[in-house]
């Protein structure tokens, strides 16, 4: 069936926020895209004015957490064109998540056409100030009203959008991270490798506690021994030790980030050695003591590349590179954002013009 996306334009467009004070996820654009799955098939997507969703109070998303989401950005390049960054990877991850949560994901053509058309309709919401973007939030929820514990028969795929600010003003800044030993994010055989809403619900308390101690996010360790590093808040994490870049391997408990993969490929093109393997907190502390730990940084769609200037672990504080962004994180940030904002040729075909 050919995909035909209907568009109902809002009669009351919103006043757009000032580009210098967007923050993250505070404002929503004028429209949303909706697409329903019922009677074992996907219907046609439709774009309608942004507003509340009618939802059966018995819907499986509200009781058993059948909820998945994605995070991606539309960038306005210096040439004025709007481009998405590796959107097929978001579709692939949503599909893997749907399989794990026994949900139905929209097929690739519905996802891709929906994202493209929706971004075109909202293109006046893609900001152009330095470092800004239109953040897209594709979401998939179980909507059937039924209290037996089994997968929903009905689903809603929807997309909303939020203009977001650059994480950094003039340059990139380093953040402080708390290494978490009490709580765990994910366990082997669990749902840590997919973008399930429940993963974020279980992470909130640790993040609140870390904020009280003065840290901006937590670094998660493995759930059984609390020794091996997994990831950081909403980012994958990289360590530079003795000139080599090390990142935890994807063992089923870590989210496979789009930026993680892009970072590994970019670092290799920069001529760096990248190791994907287990890395323990003891190895990091020892490397620090021997003066070999030169950089730590996180990668993710929201913050792009985020250097870590300080790690808090038990009663110790470790300062990395005097609390400043290191050269590898800087070069990586420049290279990736140059591709995203069309300042550099996209040799790997990562961007998609809408």
Ligand X SMILES: Cc1ncc(COP(=O)(O)O)c(C=O)c1O
Interface positions with ligand X (CB under 6 A): 71, 231, 234-236, 255, 257-260, 299-301
Tokens of 179: 């290494």
Q: How many residues does the chain have?
A: 354
Q: Are 35 and 166 in contact (CB under 8 A)?
A: no
- Distance between CA atoms of residues 258 and 254, nearest Å: 12
In the bound state with ligand X, the residue whose beta carbon lies nearer, of 231 and 295, is 231
The residue at minimum Cβ distance from ligand X is: 257
Q: Closest separation between CB of residue 89 and ligand X, Å?
A: 7
Q: Are 250 and 304 in contact (CB under 8 A)?
A: no
In the bound state with ligand X, the residue whose beta carbon lies nearer, of 259 and 296, is 259
Q: Closest separation between CB of residue 85 and ligand X, Å?
A: 10
Q: Closest separation between CB of residue 71 and ligand X, Å?
A: 5
In the bound state with ligand X, the residue whose beta carbon lies nearer, of 34 and 302, is 302
In the bound state with ligand X, the residue whose beta carbon lies nearer, of 259 and 352, is 259
Tokens of 175: 């953040």
Q: Are 220 and 230 in contact (CB under 8 A)?
A: yes
Cross-strand pairs, 245? 240, 274
Q: Closest separation between CB of residue 108 and ligand X, Å?
A: 17
Cross-strand pairs, 280? 228
Q: Closest separation between CB of residue 234 and ligand X, Å?
A: 4
How far is it between the farthest Cα atoms of the chain? 63
In the bound state with ligand X, the residue whose beta carbon lies nearer, of 72 and 126, is 72
Residues with Cβ within 8 Å of residue 52, at least 6 apart in sequence: none
In the bound state with ligand X, the residue whose beta carbon lies nearer, of 288 and 304, is 304
Q: Closest separation between CB of residue 289 and ligand X, Å?
A: 28
Q: Which helix (H) or strand (E) holds 60?
A: helix 60-63
């Amino acid at each position: 069936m050919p995909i035909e996306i209907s568009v109902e334009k809002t009669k009351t467009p919103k006043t757009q926020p000032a580009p210098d004070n967007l923050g993250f996820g505070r404002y929503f654009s004028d429209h949303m895209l909706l697409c329903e799955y019922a009677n074992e098939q996907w219907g046609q997507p439709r774009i309608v004015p942004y507003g509340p969703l009618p939802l059966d109070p018995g819907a499986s998303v509200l009781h058993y957490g059948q909820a998945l989401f994605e995070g991606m950005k539309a960038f306005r390049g210096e040439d004025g064109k709007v481009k998405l960054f590796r959107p097929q990877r978001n579709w692939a991850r949503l599909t893997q998540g749907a399989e794990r949560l026994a949900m139905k994901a929209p097929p690739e053509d519905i996802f891709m056409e929906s994202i493209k058309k929706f971004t075109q309709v909202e293109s006046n919401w893609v900001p152009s100030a330095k470092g800004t973007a239109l953040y897209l939030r594709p979401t998939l929820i179980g909507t059937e009203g039924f209290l037996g514990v089994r997968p929903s028969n009905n689903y809603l795929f929807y997309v909303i959008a939020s203009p977001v600010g650059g994480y950094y003003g003039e340059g990139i800044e380093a953040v402080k991270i708390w290494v978490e030993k009490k709580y765990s994010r994910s366990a082997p055989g669990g749902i840590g490798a997919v973008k399930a809403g429940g993963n974020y619900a279980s992470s909130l308390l640790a993040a609140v506690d870390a904020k009280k101690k003065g840290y901006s996010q937590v670094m998660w360790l493995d759930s059984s021994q609390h020794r091996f590093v997994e990831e950081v808040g909403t980012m994958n994490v990289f360590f530079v030790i003795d000139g080599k870049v090390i990142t935890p391997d994807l063992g089923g408990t870590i989210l496979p980030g789009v930026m993680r993969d892009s970072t590994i490929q970019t670092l290799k093109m920069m001529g760096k050695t990248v190791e994907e393997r287990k890395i323990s907190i003891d190895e990091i502390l020892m490397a620090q003591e021997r003066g070999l730990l030169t950089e730590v940084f996180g990668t993710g769609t929201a913050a792009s590349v985020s250097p870590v200037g300080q790690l808090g672990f038990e009663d110790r504080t470790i300062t990395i590179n005097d609390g400043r962004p290191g050269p590898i994180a800087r070069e990586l940030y420049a290279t990736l954002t140059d591709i995203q904002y069309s300042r550099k040729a996209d040799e790997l075909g990562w961007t998609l013009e809408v």
